[in-house]
A = this chain, B = another copy of it.
């Protein structure tokens, strides 16, 4: 297990989420991580693209963790959604309101290739699947659960966009009232 490798992806993710793939220079990532260039290309032979995919994967996993933490102790679906949105709003505030969906901000606007699109598509599917899983657990039929998950996901992506434009996380906090 290598600390440098992870640190690079984490710091790169932090920057990608704010400025997008093309908005971040390798030099900036290296400076933030306190790592020389040689190490980057040792751990990520394909350079920036590898770094972005790794950063997106880390962010994706973190969001799944937040979903679990939000729904596990929830008394019903709406309660879980509310907790989830509040946690995300807090995450948004940590980045000082200059962030969109951590995954799409990182991968959209990157090189227009199949690898990036597939990664995005898969991550989104995993998120919706996990939310649907919890919705089913609260008694919804599979179809209804999938629909609930999709409704939440789509609005959430939009909320991130609007929250970022306004620099105000309340858009995210008010989401449960809109979709439940």
Contacts and interface: CB of A to CB of B under 8 A. Distances in A.
Interface of A: 18-23, 98, 100-101, 104-105, 108-109, 112, 117, 120-121, 124, 147, 150-151, 153-159, 161-162, 164-167, 175, 178-179
Contacts of A178: 147, 150-151, 154
A125 to B, nearest CB: 9
Contacts of A124: 162, 165
Given A19-B109, A109-B20, A112-B18, A153 B164 contact: no
A20 B22 contact: yes
Contacts of A151: 155, 178-179
Given A22-B23, A150-B178, A178-B150, A104 B165 contact: yes
Count copies of this chain in the complex: 2
A153 B147 contact: no
A157 B162 contact: yes
B155 A161 contact: no
A155 B151 CA distance: 7
